Structure 1
Amino acid sequence: MTHHIIVRILAASTLSGASLISAARLYAAPDPTVASDGKPAIAVKIIAINDFHGNLRPPGDLMLNGAPVSAGGAAHLAGHVRELRAANPDNVLVSAGDLIGASPLISANFQDEPTIEAMNLLGLDFNAVGNHEFDEGRDELLRMQRGGCHPRLERAGRSCREKGLSPMIRSKVGRKFKGADFRFLAANVFDRKSGGTLFPAYGVKQFHGRKIGFIGLTLKDTPKLVKPSGVKDLEFRDEADTVNALVPVLRSQGIEAIVVLIHEGGHPGGGPDGCAGISGPIAGIVRRLDPEVDLVVSGHTHETYACRLPNAAGEPVLVTSAHDYGRLVSDIDLVLDAKTGEVISTAARNLVVSRDIRPEPLLTRLVEDYGRLSRPIEERIVGRITATFSRTPNEAGESALGDLIADAQLEATRSRRYGAAAIAFMNSGGMRADFSYAPGKKGRVSYREAFDVQPFGGTLVTMTLTGAQIEQLLEQQFPGCPNGQPANRILQVSAGFEYAWNAGGKACDKVDPASIRLGGKPIAAGKIYRIVTNDFLADGGDGFTLFTQGANRMAALPELSALERYFGRHSPLTPGTPRRIIRLP
């Protein structure tokens, strides 16, 4: 149990990016042998990341105080971890989920094996499963832990190991993919058939005879965020209830220090390291946690915070999140009572993974190897644009990028061969980047950029819906309707389809049926229409269960192939003004 919590935070809101980095290094960790009351103590350093998403290369700049800061990259992340470990040999490296999934091509093209191998070299200890770990289903996630050849490679008669890796890396990662050396944790993910958890519920690390328990779990709404077929026969239980049930289990093993690694988070309202006015699920989860929980490492929302939130007893608990893509790392110090093993103080700050540090040579070589292997695919030009296609929505929820992708999907499936679709629906969450116009490239778009926009490898599915079902589908975009969204989640639609929704309308009555038009004509409730969407939505993903009612389903082509074809036929592309969806006051 935590007797008191000390949170030392360097507020990024008061520092420039450069100052944040230098000031962070002046931070003084707790004395490793003496607690504040003079009793013998054990200082343990917890190094935490979240939402890495396979970003082996340095991703885009991190915005701090309105200014871009270069940050991230697996080799530089390893360099910072090296320095943090040097500050205290009693340390543990953890992740709060989404290590893989929605990854750049350098990782995704090799089934995210490079990211697992990078984390093995980095010395990761535990990763709480995130929703994106389930993007390709439970069997593929189990392979990430256990190793083995991917079925696609076996069917193609290819080796389980990509050829072309340097001898140095091959000697480290092995002749075949061996899986994760670290442990995936999934305390609230249960197999309905066996009754047990998919992965261990917790892991334990011991320092000088005292144990720290790490409970790992994902958000309970994971089934709404992934293909339902990929999590079939899995049950995702309540986060706080799961943790609280495990507290006596850990205590019975003499574990007094308890850390929760949870792939769920919030949106801070008080600056990068503050939690004033925080919104999102994490505050409610922490408010229900047993007071024996000493630290919560969170993720999922790609935000930055390190602050205190009240638990079930009203006591403050340290809660952290380190943004995303390995651009920040949380440096957390726990001080344990050497006699009892209880946590007597905690301290945390988020550090920028800056590039002014020596990168780790092994990680540098690993990234170079996979970069060289993927380069011919990545650099292929698929088309051109004349301006940026942004996924940022207007007030109605429509975006220029959403229009482009929906149009590409409709054109690819208009023919009878692929289902004779008349309307396309695209989920905004499936668009992971913008098509940014670069004058120096003359607007050329590479396959790598197209993949970064749609990295999930989904397949288009055509089906038949009635006009009445389409109206019900549109109502599912909003809260309060059966299976509706927790917040407005607007589907992107193809050209020729339009409708209006009323922000002040009641649940299940926000969309005006008379405004739903196709080709300028109102759709009829009893008439049937062929529509196309990706297989994620077709399976009821994002809570759009209406898609599962579609009749005469037909699998078409990969969604990325549809986009590439569209570029090939219509380049150069110019973004229009989104006006297919109208928001009424």
Structure 2
Amino acid sequence: MHSLRKWIVVALGVTLASSASPALAAPKPVDVQLLSIADFHGYITPQNNAADGTIKDAQGNTLVVGGAPYLATHLSKLREGHANTVTFSNGDNFSGWPTEVSFHADEPTIEFLNKIGLDFTAVGNHELDRSLEFLRDHMGAGECFGEADVDSCFTDSDGRRFHGANFAFSTANITEKGDTRPVLEPYVIKKFRGIPVGFINLTTPTTVDGSTSYQPSLDNLPPVETADKYAAILKRRGVRAIVANVHEGGAAGADFNGCADPMNGPIWDFAKKASPDIDVIVTGHWHAYFTCSVPDPAGNPRPVVEAANHGRLINEINLKIDRRTRDVIRSATTAVNHPVTRDVTPDPVMTKLVDHWNAKQKETYAKPYGTITGDITRTRDATGQSTLGNTVADVAYFDSQQTEGGKADLAMVAVAPVKGSNSLRGDLRFAKGPNPADSDGQVLLGESWAAWGYANPVLTVSVKGSQLEQALEQQWQTQADGTVRFAPLAVSKNVRFSYSPGRPVGDRINPADVLIDGQPLDTGRTYRLAALAYTLLGADGYSAFAGYTDAVRGNRDYDAMRAYLRQGPLTPPALDRAVPLT
């Protein structure tokens, strides 16, 4: 067993072996139970696929897990016999992919978390997928936006309008750009029989520049230094029992109650460096699972845990706190991940909640979004163009024109990326589909949602003309086996370009043959480009955009498409924007 991990397995968990805290004769320690989930992502409905609905135990047996009704039952059972208990989340509670949740501004997740009695949550990167204002004012305070029961403030399973979270959102290291004060409360203090326990909540530093959470008006403070700062503040306030709830993860083997090499990921560096005043580290973000122990800088072991994702596991940590020192007795601390199995009676309140939102999903799917005059599909011609590809490039361009500080000169969208996810996911057909609400030419909300996007924001950035030329060259990329992969980029309707397919890779574009609003591409000029954040950050495999500046965030892809469709009947665009030279 790894020298850094000395674990004694007990019936309900893993006990840390340490000589750091001597046994106490009297008075009797205070017991405090910590129950947490991570990366729930709105998975209220029990899933039937392997990735989201199962987990393997230490013997390799497959357990069927997850779903709000079962998670609620397991939480109730775990709380039995515990007078001092706190339930919290590591973040990424919403901004998930189940449409019964995402169609409804993630409000079903808040209803669920309210009903299970969540006390607080760290802010994960996905909590900022829309904006800080959306998180604070809508999700937190229940303020409506847009049209009630269409854009937000839907009626919940109890027949009440959305009122926001009954729990706190907390982050110590997300700030306004240029500021050092966190945008939300940095920590939470809970008292048990008069003894305070402090929870410092931290957000992954990848948040501000993340592909879905991209927020150019925000900034990240470094996690270790921030944790140390607030641990010292809590200590000055008389708090000795301190938990770091860090939305940043790692991996440590395949056993959800084990800890095996290789241990990789940023959380391990945090665990080795963060203040020894911190007694427990709860993590997430990586959708991994482990119950580890890592010595703090003073050499004393402390638990480092992660409880998977999508409601598959619940982590339980039991603290014993010395009444005299008010500090955690680490040698008596236990940690265990519990699988959310479905061999228990599902909570009837949560069953009603899930049924309500799934019925609502069918209604929302069928709402009209816009109209089209012909098929708009992903089918590409020899030049790489498709009617859907050209359409979404126009959507990105349109969204930029509506965004303050946007006003792009052109837009580009990856339609067959070199790597990563393809944002073009479905076709829009003119003929009516099987949904009773559909008709010829009608685009339903669910159909639009399924055609393009993955909750990615449209960004408008400044790039050099030479970068645009390079991006067009990167449509052809030589692979390791010597073959050439064609990864076309769709361009907005104000752009035309020609290319020479017979020339070597990297030399197929002549700037004089790239026309933007009828003018040849100037490689020395700065242009404003609209594209999805995923592409601009290089996740699609196009490195040409690196070093862009002056980013302005627009709408998410789903919302941009909706606004574009609302302009009136949409005609499939001609495939005349890329022309091969003979």
Asked if TM exceeds 0.5, the reply is: yes
Give the counterpart letter for 1:52 in structure 2: F
Q: Tell me the equivalent position of 2:110.
A: 116
Q: Tell me the equivalent position of 1:62.
A: 54
Residues 1:535 and 2:513 are matched in the alignment: no
Contact 2:247 2:283 in 1 (8 A): yes
- Give the whole-Å Cα distance in 2 for the aligned partners of 1:138 and 1:412: 30
Change (3 A) 1:106 1:423: closer
Cα distance, 1:79 vs structure 2: 0.7
Contact 2:123 2:201 in 1 (8 A): yes
Q: Tell me the equivalent position of 1:254.
A: 238
- Give the whole-Å Cα distance in 1 for the aligned partners of 2:215 and 2:421: 16
Contact 1:458 1:559 in 2 (8 A): no
What do you get for the CA RMSD once the two structures are aligned?
A: 4.8
Change (3 A) 1:340 1:541: farther
SS in 1 for 2:190: strand
- Give the whole-Å Cα distance in 1 for the aligned partners of 2:511 and 2:54: 51
Q: Tell me the equivalent position of 1:410.
A: 389
Contact 1:45 1:88 in 2 (8 A): yes
Change (3 A) 1:76 1:470: farther
Q: Tell me the equivalent position of 1:359.
A: 346
Residues 1:222 and 2:207 are matched in the alignment: yes
| More off after superposition, 140-149 vs 341-350 | 140-149
Q: Tell me the equivalent position of 1:295.
A: 280
SS in 2 for 1:224: coil
Q: Identify the match of residue 151 of structure 1 among 140, 145, 151.
A: 145
Residues 1:81 and 2:75 are matched in the alignment: yes
Contact 1:336 1:342 in 2 (8 A): yes
Change (3 A) 1:112 1:291: same
Cα distance, 1:471 vs structure 2: 3.9
Give the counterpart letter for 1:536 in structure 2: A
Cα distance, 1:455 vs structure 2: 4.0
Structure having the higher Rg: 2
Cα distance, 1:415 vs structure 2: 7.7
Q: Tell me the equivalent position of 1:509.
A: none
Contact 2:200 2:242 in 1 (8 A): yes
Corresponding residue pairs, total: 475
What TM-score, normalized by structure 2, do the two folds share?
0.68
Q: Identify the match of residue 323 of structure 1 among 305, 308, 312.
A: 308
Cα distance, 1:548 vs structure 2: 4.2
1:13-92 equivalent positions in 2, closer than 5 A: 36-39=23-26, 40-59=28-47, 60-64=52-56, 68-92=62-86
Cα distance, 1:128 vs structure 2: 0.6
Cα distance, 1:149 vs structure 2: 3.7
Cα distance, 1:316 vs structure 2: 2.1
Residues 1:185 and 2:170 are matched in the alignment: yes
Cα displacement string for residues 347-405 of structure 1 (whole angstroms, at most 9, x for unaligned residues):
1111110111122222221221111111245599xxxxxxxxxxxxxxxxxxxxxxxx9
Cα distance, 1:220 vs structure 2: 1.5
Q: Tell me the equivalent position of 1:241.
A: 225
Contact 1:459 1:557 in 2 (8 A): yes
Contact 1:76 1:355 in 2 (8 A): yes
Change (3 A) 1:431 1:218: farther
SS in 2 for 1:366: helix
Q: Tell me the equivalent position of 2:377.
A: none
Change (3 A) 1:111 1:457: farther
Residues 1:285 and 2:270 are matched in the alignment: yes
| More off after superposition, 182-191 vs 292-301 | 182-191
Contact 1:80 1:353 in 2 (8 A): yes
Contact 2:457 2:554 in 1 (8 A): no
Cα displacement string for residues 203-230 of structure 1 (whole angstroms, at most 9, x for unaligned residues):
0111111111000010112112146763
Contact 2:187 2:198 in 1 (8 A): yes
Contact 2:241 2:279 in 1 (8 A): yes
Cα distance, 1:287 vs structure 2: 1.3
Which structure's residues are more often helix, by fraction?
Answer: 1
Give the counterpart letter for 2:135 in structure 1: L
- Give the whole-Å Cα distance in 2 for the aligned partners of 1:153 and 1:85: 40
SS in 2 for 1:225: coil
Give the counterpart letter for 2:68 in structure 1: A
Change (3 A) 1:426 1:550: farther
Contact 1:257 1:342 in 2 (8 A): yes
Q: Tell me the equivalent position of 1:500.
A: 478
SS in 2 for 1:116: helix
SS in 1 for 2:230: helix
Cα distance, 1:523 vs structure 2: 2.9
1:423-434 equivalent positions in 2, closer than 5 A: 424=415
Give the counterpart letter for 2:455 in structure 1: F
Give the counterpart letter for 2:358 in structure 1: G
Q: Tell me the equivalent position of 2:431.
A: none
Change (3 A) 1:361 1:554: closer
Change (3 A) 1:135 1:293: same
Cα displacement string for residues 260-281 of structure 1 (whole angstroms, at most 9, x for unaligned residues):
0011011214744214321110
Give the counterpart letter for 2:339 in structure 1: V
Q: Tell me the equivalent position of 2:297.
A: 312
Contact 2:463 2:545 in 1 (8 A): no
Residues 1:267 and 2:251 are matched in the alignment: yes
Give the counterpart letter for 1:55 in structure 2: Y
Q: Identify the match of residue 98 of structure 2 among 101, 104, 118.
A: 104
What TM-score, normalized by structure 1, do the two folds share?
0.68
Contact 2:7 2:15 in 1 (8 A): no
Cα displacement string for residues 485-506 of structure 1 (whole angstroms, at most 9, x for unaligned residues):
xxxxxxxx9xxx3202679xxx
Cα displacement string for residues 314-360 of structure 1 (whole angstroms, at most 9, x for unaligned residues):
33221000110011111111111122211113111111101111222
Contact 2:214 2:457 in 1 (8 A): no
Contact 2:251 2:288 in 1 (8 A): yes
Cα distance, 1:112 vs structure 2: 0.7
Cα distance, 1:286 vs structure 2: 1.2
Contact 1:224 1:541 in 2 (8 A): no
Contact 1:94 1:124 in 2 (8 A): yes
- Give the whole-Å Cα distance in 2 for the aligned partners of 1:241 and 1:74: 36
Change (3 A) 1:5 1:241: same
Cα distance, 1:55 vs structure 2: 0.8
Change (3 A) 1:63 1:82: closer
- Give the whole-Å Cα distance in 1 for the aligned partners of 2:212 and 2:96: 14
Give the counterpart letter for 1:356 in structure 2: D
Cα distance, 1:107 vs structure 2: 1.1
| More off after superposition, 218-227 vs 240-249 | 218-227
Cα displacement string for residues 59-117 of structure 1 (whole angstroms, at most 9, x for unaligned residues):
33224166543211112111111011113121111111101113311111111111111
Q: Identify the match of residue 124 of structure 2 among 112, 123, 130.
A: 130
Change (3 A) 1:467 1:550: farther
SS in 1 for 2:228: helix
- Give the whole-Å Cα distance in 2 for the aligned partners of 1:434 and 1:63: 28
Contact 1:9 1:348 in 2 (8 A): no
Give the counterpart letter for 1:142 in structure 2: R
